[in-house]
C-alpha cells in the first residue's frame, strides 16, 4: 500500500506561450502547488521533474537545477525524469518512492515542456525520437503515422469506425469548455471532426493532440502527515509502471498496449480494487484511437467495446465511466513532459469537489494512465478521496 498524499497542485494554462520561458512556466505551476500546500519553497526537500526534450525544443539540457533555483528551491536535489510523453508520471513515481523510502518528507513532482519554440516539422521530428530510430523514426514514420497503424489494426480486428474516433474528440472538446486551463475551450461537432484535414489516415486533425507549452506540479507528503497541510488531501493508493518492446514490429497485437495492461493489472492489485471501482479516469488520448485502446486496456470495457462505448456516451461526465473530464490531451493540450502530473492534478480537483462544471458526481476514486512513446512505457496512478 502506498502511504503518500497530494496536498497541493498547480498548473499553467496549456497552449502556446511565446511570452514565457521554460523556467517561468515551471515556476508558475510549482509555486501554485507550494502555496496551496501552505508551505514555502524552502520546505521542499527534493524535486523530480518530467521533461521530454528541452535540449531539442529549447536548446537547454540539465534543466532540473535551473527550474528549482528559479522557483525558490535553490540547493535541493533536483532530477529530470524522461520517459517520452510519460515523463512526468515517472517523475511522480520517483517522488513517491523518495517519500516511501523514508529519505524525504516533502517532495515536489512536476513536468514542464515548451514545444512551440520550434516549427511543427521540427517538433514532429523531435517527438519521433521517442520511437525506435532503427525500425520506425529512421525510415520516416512519425507519431500520427504510428497511431494510425494502431487505429487500422483496431478497425480491422473490431470494426472500429472513424465516427467512434470522432466521438472521443467531440466529448473531450466538450469537457475542455469547462476547464479554464485547457488549450482549446471550444466545442466541435461530429461533422467538423470528420471533415477536418487528414493527417495520417484514418486520423484527421481533430484526432490529434496539439503542440503545447505548459507545466504542472504537485506537492507530496507522507499520508499520516497530510492533514497538517490541508483539510482535503488526496491519497495515492497505487503507483505502477511497465514497459514493452520499443518497436511495434515485435508486438503480437497492435490493437492493445501491453505496458498499459501490465501496469494497470499491478495497480489494481496494489490498490485492492477492480476496474469497476474506478469512478473516473484521465487517460492518454494523444490520438483519439489511444483513448479507445486505453479504456479497453484498463478493463473498463471489453476489447473491441471501447469504440461503441464512447459512441454511446458511456464515457461522458455523468455517465457510467467519465473519461478525460479535463478535456484530455486532445483538448486540454499535451505539453508532453507535463501531461502525467497534469492528469493527477485533475484527480486532485475532482476528488476535492473542486472541478466546477466538469465535476464528476460522487467521485471517490480516480485513475491516471500516462503512455510514453508508442507504448514502450506506461505509468498508472490511482488516487482516492481522503
Ligand atoms: C496535427 C498537427 C500536425 C497540426 O499542426 P499544424 O499543421 O502545424 O497546425 P497549426 O499549428 O498550423 O494550426 C492550424 C490550425 O489548426 C488548429 N490545430 C492545430 N492542431 C490541432 C489539434 N491537434 N486539434 C485541434 N486543432 C488544432 C490550430 O489551433 C490552428 O487553428 P487556427 O487556424 O484557428 O488558429 C500537430 O498538432 C501535431 O503534430 N499533433 C500531434 C502531436 C504529437 O504527436 N504529440 C505526441 C503524441 S505521442
Distance CA 364, CA 114 (A): 33
pLDDT band at residue 86 using 50, 70 and 90 as cut-offs: very high
Asked if 270 and 100 touch (Cβ cutoff 8 Å), the reply is: no
Q: What is the CATH number of domain 142-209+235-385?
A: 3.40.47.10
Per-residue H/E/C for the chain: CCCEEEEEEEECCCECCCCCCHHHHHHHHHHHHHHHCCCCHHHCCEEEEECCCHHHHHCCCCHHHHHHHHCCCCCCCEEEECECECHHHHHHHHHHHHHHCCCCCEEEEEEEEECCCCCHHHHHHHHHHHCCHHHHHCCCCCHHHHHHHHHHHHHHHHCCCHHHHHHHHHHHHHHHCCCCCCCCCCCCCHHHHHHCCEEECCEEHHHECCCCEEEEEEEEEEHHHHHHCCCCCEEEEEEEEEECCCCHHHCCCCCCCHHHHHHHHHHHHHHCCCHHHCCEEECCCCEHHHHHHHHHHCCCCCCCCHHHHHHCCCCCCCCCCCECCCCHHHHHCCCHHHHHHHHHHHHHHHHCCCCHHHCCCCCCEEEEEEEECCCCEEEEEEEEEC
Q: What's the pLDDT at 129?
A: 97
Asked if 217 and 342 touch (Cβ cutoff 8 Å), the reply is: no
Q: Whose CA is nearest to atom 30 of ligand 1?
A: 210
> Do β-strands 203-204 and 377-385 pair in parallel, antiparallel, or remain unpaired?
unpaired
Counting from 1 in the atom list of ligand 1, the atom nearest the Cα of 124 is 39
Q: What's the pLDDT at 96?
A: 98
Surface-to-core class of residue 272, CB atoms within 10 Å of its CB (0-12 exposed, 13-18 middle, 19+ buried): exposed
Q: What's the pLDDT at 175?
A: 98
Distance of CA 75 to the CA centre of its chain: 29
**Residues with a known catalytic role:** 85, 334
Cα four-point dihedral sign 280, 213, 215, 142:
positive
239 forms beta bridges with: 381
Counting from 1 in the atom list of ligand 1, the atom nearest the Cα of 371 is 48
Q: What's the pLDDT at 139?
A: 95
Q: Whose CA is nearest to atom 7 of ligand 1?
A: 120
138 contact partners, CB below 8 Å, separation of at least 6: none
Q: Which of 186, 208, 333, 378 to mutate to test the pocket of ligand 1 (most atoms within 8 A of CB)?
A: 208
Ligand 1: lining residues by beta carbon, under 6 Å: 85, 120, 124, 127, 143-144, 184, 199, 205-206, 208-211, 286, 334, 336
CA 73–ligand 1 middle distance (angstroms): 35
313-370 pLDDT tens trace: 999 999 999 999 999 999 999 999 999 999 999 999 999 999 999 999 999 999 999 9
* pTM beyond 0.95: yes
177-230 pLDDT tens trace: 999 999 999 999 999 999 999 999 999 999 999 999 999 999 999 999 999 999
Residue 55: closest CA among 46, 47, 64: 64
pLDDT above 70 coverage of the chain, percent: 100
Q: What's the pLDDT at 386?
A: 87
Counting from 1 in the atom list of ligand 1, the atom nearest the Cα of 119 is 8
CA 171–ligand 1 middle distance (angstroms): 18
- Three cell numbers written together for 101: 523510502
9-64 pLDDT tens trace: 999 999 999 999 999 999 999 999 999 999 999 999 999 999 999 999 999 999 99
Distance CA 215, CA 25 (A): 6
CA 68–ligand 1 middle distance (angstroms): 31
CA 2–ligand 1 middle distance (angstroms): 38
CA 351–ligand 1 middle distance (angstroms): 31
Q: Which of 203, 210, 257 to mutate to test the pocket of ligand 1 (most atoms within 8 A of CB)?
A: 210
Tell me the backbone φ, ψ of residue 262, rounded to 5 degrees. -65, -45
CB atoms within 10 A of CB 35: 14
Residue range(s) occupied by CATH 3.40.47.10 in the chain: 4-119+212-232, 142-209+235-385
CA 329–ligand 1 middle distance (angstroms): 12
Q: For the chain, what is the mean pLDDT?
A: 98
Q: What's the pLDDT at 1?
A: 83
pLDDT band at residue 286 using 50, 70 and 90 as cut-offs: very high
- Three cell numbers written together for 314: 458511456
CB atoms within 10 A of CB 186: 10
122-180 pLDDT tens trace: 999 999 999 999 999 999 999 999 999 999 999 999 999 999 999 999 999 999 999 99
Q: What's the pLDDT at 269?
A: 98
Determine the topology of domain 4-119+212-232 in CATH: Peroxisomal Thiolase; Chain A, domain 1 (3.40.47)
Q: Whose CA is nearest to atom 9 of ligand 1?
A: 120
Distance CA 172, CA 324 (A): 7
Amino acid at each position: 500500500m502506498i502511504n503518500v498524499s497530494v496536498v497541493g497542485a498547480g498548473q499553467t494554462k496549456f497552449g502556446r506561450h511565446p511570452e514565457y520561458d521554460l523556467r517561468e512556466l515551471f515556476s508558475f505551476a510549482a509555486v501554485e502547488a507550494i502555496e496551496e500546500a501552505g508551505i514555502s519553497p524552502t520546505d521542499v526537500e527534493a524535486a523530480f521533474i518530467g521533461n521530454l526534450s528541452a535540449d531539442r525544443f529549447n536548446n537547454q539540457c540539465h534543466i532540473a537545477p535551473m527550474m528549482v533555483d528559479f522557483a525558490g528551491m535553490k540547493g535541493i536535489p533536483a532530477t529530470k525524469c524522461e520517459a517520452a510523453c510519460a515523463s512526468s508520471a515517472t517523475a511522480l513515481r520517483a517522488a513517491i518512492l523518495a517519500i516511501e523510502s523514508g529519505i524525504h518528507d516533502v517532495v515536489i513532482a512536476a513536468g514542464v515542456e515548451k514545444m512551440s519554440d520550434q516549427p511543427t516539422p521540427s517538433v514532429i521530428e523531435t517527438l519521433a525520437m521517442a520511437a525506435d530510430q532503427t525500425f520506425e523514426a529512421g525510415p520516416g514514420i512519425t507519431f500520427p503515422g504510428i497511431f494510425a497503424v494502431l487505429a487500422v489494426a483496431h478497425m480491422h480486428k473490431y470494426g472500429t469506425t472513424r465516427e467512434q474516433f470522432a466521438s472521443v474528440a467531440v466529448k473531450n472538446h466538450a469537457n475542455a469548455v469547462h476547464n479554464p486551463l485547457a488549450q482549446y475551450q471550444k466545442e466541435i461537432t461530429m461533422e467538423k471532426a470528420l471533415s477536418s484535414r487528414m493527417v495520417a489516415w484514418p486520423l484527421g486533425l481533430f484526432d490529434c493532440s496539439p503542440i503545447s507549452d505548459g507545466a504542472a506540479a504537485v506537492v507530496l507528503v507522507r499520508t499520516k502527515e497530510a492533514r497538517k497541510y490541508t483539510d482535503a488531501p488526496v491519497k495515492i493508493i497505487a503507483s505502477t509502471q511497465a514497459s514493452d518492446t520499443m518497436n511495434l514490429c515485435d508486438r503480437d497485437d497492435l490493437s492493445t498496449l501491453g505496458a498499459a495492461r501490465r501496469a494497470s493489472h499491478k495497480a489494481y492489485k496494489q490498490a485492492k480494487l477492480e476496474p469497476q471501482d474506478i469512478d473516473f479516469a484521465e487517460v492518454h488520448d494523444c490520438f483519439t484511437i489511444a483513448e479507445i485502446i486505453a479504456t479497453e486496456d484498463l478493463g473498463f470495457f471489453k476489447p473491441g467495446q471501447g469504440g461503441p462505448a464512447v459512441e454511446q456516451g458511456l464515457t461522458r461526465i455523468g455517465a457510467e465511466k467519465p473519461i478525460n473530464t479535463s478535456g484530455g490531451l486532445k483538448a486540454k493540450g499535451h505539453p508532453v513532459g507535463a501531461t502525467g502530473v497534469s492528469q493527477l492534478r485533475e484527480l486532485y480537483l475532482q476528488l476535492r469537489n473542486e472541478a466546477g462544471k466538469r465535476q464528476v458526481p460522487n467521485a471517490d476514486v480516480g485513475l491516471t494512465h500516462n503512455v510514453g512513446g508508442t507504448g514502450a512505457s506506461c505509468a498508472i496512478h490511482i488516487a482516492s478521496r481522503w
